[in-house]
Amino acid sequence: MSEPQQPAGAGWPAEMTVPDASRDANRDGARTDAEPRADTANEATADAAEAIDAADAHDAHDGHDGHDASAGPRTDEHAVQPDLAALERAAVAIQASAYAPYSRFQVGAAVFGEGREFLGVNVENASFGLTICAERNAIAHAVCSGVQRLTAVAVCTSVSPPSSPCGSCRQVLAELAEDLRTFRVVAVNPQGERREWTLDQLLPDSFTRAELPGAVGATGTAAVSTDSVRPGGK
């Protein structure tokens, strides 16, 4: 995928169109509403696997080894920059798995870090405050797999223009972002619209671990050291 044009400054960039390959991954038909499908779980799982397989086929064409989607998240230890097109397709494909019976606002997310992709969807709860956002769900998946340095996220919603991550998710992304200045945030919808930012544009002057003097435990040692702050923090 050619390098997307970066926004000139903070704020909302001009809307662009997702590559045709992104639409192919959603060829069952673009949904113009947020109503969940009856066969949501099975179709979404198959679509997500197909999207990852398509990305692997692209990698194989470029000389990378393929990957069996059933074996887990796609891995490329040599990948420094995320394949945004593949990340977008994965977010679109997994969106239908979202559990959103109350808001009917389904969200799919795919985060990238250390050469691997991790998926997540929003999971609502009758006790509304317990709802989990798709982005944080994907981040938790990454952390459970041992990945704690993220470089990109793609988020799929059905609205136009596509929604950006909420404030809470921006803060959690910032916690694990390798560099806020280069962390890529892409918002897409199944209809083909696309928007892109860097994380520092969505969360300027962010609060990071660099603000903390160190959490002192019972032993008197600092549990958090500002010496380990990643680039892009304060």
Q: Is residue 97 part of a domain?
A: yes
Q: Which is nearest to 165 in space by CA: 195, 190, 192, 191?
A: 195
Per-chain mean pLDDT for the chain = 74
Neighbours of 53 (CB within 10 A): 16
Q: What is the DSSP letter of 232?
A: T
- Measured CA distances, 50 to 58, 78, 117, 212 (Å): 12, 22, 14, 43
Q: Is residue 1 part of a domain?
A: no
Average pLDDT value for residue range 217-221: 36
Q: Are both 224 and 199 inside the same structural domain?
A: no
Q: What is the pLDDT of residue 90?
A: 98
Residue 222's domain comprises 208-234
Average pLDDT value for residue range 167-184: 96
CA distance 140 to 119: 10
Q: Is residue 90 part of a domain?
A: yes
The set of long-range contacts for 167-171, using a CB threshold of 8 Å and a minimum separation of 24, is 167/203, 168/133, 168/136, 169/133, 169/135, 169/136, 170/199, 170/202, 170/203, 170/206, 171/203, 171/206, 171/207
Counting the structural domains of the chain, the total is 2
What is the CATH number for 64?
A: 3.40.140.10
Q: Are both 227 and 170 inside the same structural domain?
A: no
Chain segment 98-126, per-residue pLDDT in tens = 999 999 999 999 999 999 999 999 999 99
What stretch of H or E contains 120? strand 116-121
Predicted confidence band of residue 209 (pLDDT cuts 50, 70, 90):
confident
Q: Which residue has the higher pLDDT, 141 or 217?
A: 141
Q: Is residue 9 part of a domain?
A: no
Q: Which residues contact 15 (CB under 8 A, 6 or more apart)?
A: 161, 193, 194, 195
Q: Are both 230 and 145 inside the same structural domain?
A: no
**Is 135 annotated in the active site?**
yes
User: What are φ and ψ of residue 118, in 5° steps?
Assistant: -135, 135
Q: What is the pLDDT of residue 78?
A: 46
Q: Are both 35 and 125 inside the same structural domain?
A: yes
Q: Are both 152 and 214 inside the same structural domain?
A: no
Predicted confidence band of residue 81 (pLDDT cuts 50, 70, 90):
confident
Q: Are both 92 and 181 inside the same structural domain?
A: yes
Residue 146 has pLDDT above 70, yes or no: yes
Q: Are both 214 and 152 inside the same structural domain?
A: no
Residue 65 has pLDDT above 50, yes or no: no
Map residue 193 onto helix, strand or coil. Answer: strand
pTM: 0.63
Predicted confidence band of residue 46 (pLDDT cuts 50, 70, 90):
low
Q: Are both 107 and 53 inside the same structural domain?
A: yes
Q: Are both 173 and 144 inside the same structural domain?
A: yes
Average pLDDT value for residue range 79-94: 90
Q: Are both 20 and 78 inside the same structural domain?
A: yes
- Per annotation, catalytic residue among 88, 117, 135, 196: 135
Predicted confidence band of residue 147 (pLDDT cuts 50, 70, 90):
very high
Q: Is residue 10 part of a domain?
A: no
Look-up of token digits 């990071």: 208
Q: Are both 184 and 230 inside the same structural domain?
A: no
